[in-house]
Amino acid sequence: MSVVTESKTARKWAMPDTLVIIFFVAILTSIATWVVPVGMFDSQEVQYQVDGQTKTRKVVDPHSFRIVTNEAGEAQYHRVQFFTTGDERPGLMNFPFEGLTSGSKFGTAVGIIMFMLVIGGAFGIVMRTGTVDNGILALIRHTRGNEVLFIPVLFVLFSLGGAVFGMGEEAVAFAIIIATLIGLVFTLVYASRVKKNPLLSRVHESDRYFREQQDEVVQRPFTFGDWLVLLVLTGVMIWVVWGVIVHAWFIPEIASQFFTMGVVIGLIGVIFRLNGMTVNVMASSFTEGARMMIAPALLVGFAKGILLLVGNGEAGEPSVLNTLLNSIAHGISGLNNAIAAWFMLLFQAVFNFFVTSGSGQAALTMPLLAPLGDLVGVNRQVTVLAFQFGDGFSHIIYPTSASLMATLGVCRVDFRNWLKVGASLLGLLFIMSSVVVIGAQMMGYH
């Protein structure tokens, strides 16, 4: 008699989907509202000089924090309910819709979401012409042997964009083309290795079949229509950068420029019959381009919804976020100055999950941390350094970062796969930032 035993394959742990992670964060955030009372700050006007002109703006008064109480003197709580109706504060089941529809056309979430859909649709038309792919292949042919320079050159260019005119969400449009470029470079480098030794390919039998099929395919030559597409594409990129720097264009203006570009390039494709382009193909390409942005757009809205559960990042409105902010700031006050500087860095990195806007985070945290740094002996320049590092680097992995999720969307990179690489990079950057911040404080950096 033979005994048949069933072999059970061990179930491997898999990273939860990003929406699942965000939902669990929303649950934890909701629980926190049941144990943490709401607090608020007062605002004060400060004057500062810009180009010889005196200007004023409102900032948080760091000494004005108070727990909100009722007439009996009892602390008030904004406890998140499971579900709410009307104009009540959003409940746990309300946070996705409230987050997706919050804000204005100038920012998170609805403005960013619409921006992502329009950008995705416009570049869906551009990519459908086939001109970009042809152009990139021609570029690679003319720079063969120097492919390794692409990434550092692009890194420097995008770093300059961030430093010169604060490029953030604007980079999404460029990422659509850059992703194609890097992908083709990687493919060609890999292909050259396989060509030398076909057995290196895990699918060398299929490779041989498709290579024989590819021999019958003739690459489409560059036409006058292709040159027009590249001219319009390059012109709009330069035009948008100029508009951002000179006229302070933001989301509505940039989205409109790229939509216009998509229509113009689509019409060029129709006139010159690029890749079989017709007006119906233009419409379907726009829809397909927008479709690939839906997943990251949902993440942007869901992430904004989490912030609405604990407050809206407004210091003058009662919220759990204000109470946590004040408690952490006072917790730092009893530490050694070098350790306090490091905790400022850690605090800014964590707080950035909830308030990803650099200006918004600065308005909330810096009026508290600057005088706090004075009390514990942390130089103000070090406080600013901790803010810059904490706010800047953590965007690498936070699903609440609109620019990150939009860029991952257009590059078709799953957030879970990105997290495996991004977390290691952030860990390295955080260690380096910690050394710099602590070292700067110990050396008396001013």
Give 356-395 pLDDT, tens digit per residue: 777 777 777 887 788 778 777 888 899 999 998 988 888 8
Distance, in Å, from the CA atom of 148 to the CA atom of 128, rounded to the nearest integer, reads 28
Mean pLDDT rounded to a whole number for the chain: 81
- Pair (379, 256) in one structural domain: no
In this predicted structure, what is the pLDDT of residue 108? 76
Question: What pLDDT is recorded for position 77?
Answer: 95
Residue in 294, 427, 408, 306 with CA at minimum distance from that of residue 355: 306
Q: Which of 76-80, 158-162, 328-332, 363-367 has the lowest mean pLDDT?
A: 158-162
Does residue 308 lie in a domain region?
Answer: no
Is 144 in the same domain as 206? yes
Per 3-state DSSP, the chain is made up of helix, strand and coil in percentages (nearest 5) of 65, 5, 30
Tell me which range, 75-84, 189-198, 350-359, is most confidently predicted by mean pLDDT.
Answer: 75-84
Q: Are residues 338 and 432 in the same domain?
A: yes
Q: How confident is the model at residue 215, as a pLDDT?
A: 46
State whether 139 and 174 are in the same domain.
Answer: yes
Torsion angle defined by CA atoms of residues 261, 301, 311 and 105, in that order, rounded to the nearest 10 degrees: 20
Confidence of residue 84 (pLDDT cuts 50, 70, 90): very high
Establish if 30 belongs to a structural domain.
no
% of residues, the chain, pLDDT over 70: 78
E-only strand ranges, 236-308: none
Q: Tens of pLDDT along 413-428?
A: 788 888 887 888 888 8
Specify the higher pLDDT residue, 364 or 102: 102
Q: Is the pLDDT at 439 greater than 50, yes or no?
A: yes
Pair (181, 227) in one structural domain = yes
Per-residue pLDDT of 238-283, as tens digits, reads 898 888 888 988 889 989 999 999 999 999 999 999 989 999 999 9
Q: Which domain holds residue 349?
A: 314-446
Q: Give the three-class secondary structure for 53.
A: strand
Q: Are residues 117 and 184 in the same domain?
A: yes
pLDDT over 90 percentage in the chain: 31
pLDDT per residue as tens digits for the range 15-51: 788 888 889 999 999 999 999 999 998 887 777 777 7
Residue 299 identity: L
Asked whether residue 11 is assigned to any structural domain, the reply reads no
pLDDT band at 338 (very low <50, low <70, confident <90, very high): very high
Residues 278 and 359 in one domain: no
Query: Over 70: is that where the pLDDT of 180 sits?
Result: no
Q: Residue 11, exposed/middle/buried by CB under 10 A (0-12, 13-18, 19+)?
A: exposed
Q: Are residues 148 and 243 in the same domain?
A: yes
Residue scoring higher pLDDT (200 or 260): 260
Is residue 168 included in any domain, yes or no?
yes
For residue 292, give every residue at least 6 positions away whose Cβ sits within 8 Å of its Cβ, in sequence order, or none.
Answer: 120, 124, 409, 410, 412
Please give the pLDDT value at position 271. 96
What separation in angstroms does the CA of 210 have from each of 186, 278, 308? 19, 29, 52
Q: Which of 38-42, 334-338, 349-353, 354-358 is predicted with the least confidence, judged by mean pLDDT?
A: 354-358
435 pLDDT higher than 70: yes
Note whether residue 272 is domain-resident.
yes
Q: Could you tell me if 320 and 207 lie in one domain?
A: no
Place of tokens 């409230």: 98
Determine the pLDDT at residue 234: 86
Cβ–Cβ under 8 Å, residues 232 and 268: yes
User: Are 214 and 242 members of one domain?
Assistant: yes
The residue with greater pLDDT, 98 or 87, is 98
Judge if 280 and 333 occupy the same domain.
no
pLDDT at 157 (0 to 100): 64
CA distance linking residue 98 with residue 302, whole number of Å: 8
Residue 9 has pLDDT above 60, yes or no: no
In this structure, the strands spanning 53-60 and 43-50 are: antiparallel
Through-space distance between the first and last CA atoms of the chain, rounded to whole angstroms = 84
Residue 49's DSSP bridge partners are: 54
The answer to the question of residue 389 being in a domain is yes
User: What does the pLDDT read at residue 76?
Assistant: 95
Which of 254, 270, 298 is the C-terminal boundary of a domain? 298
Q: Is residue 71 part of a domain?
A: no
Judge if 149 and 233 occupy the same domain.
yes
Strand, coil or helix: 69: strand
Domain limit, last residue, from 269, 298, 327:
298
Cα(232)–Cα(210) distance, rounded to whole angstroms? 35
Total number of domains in the chain: 2
DSSP state of 115: H
Domain final residue pick, 234, 267, 298: 298
Residue 425: inside a domain: yes
Q: Where are the alpha helices (DSSP H) in 84-109?
A: 95-100
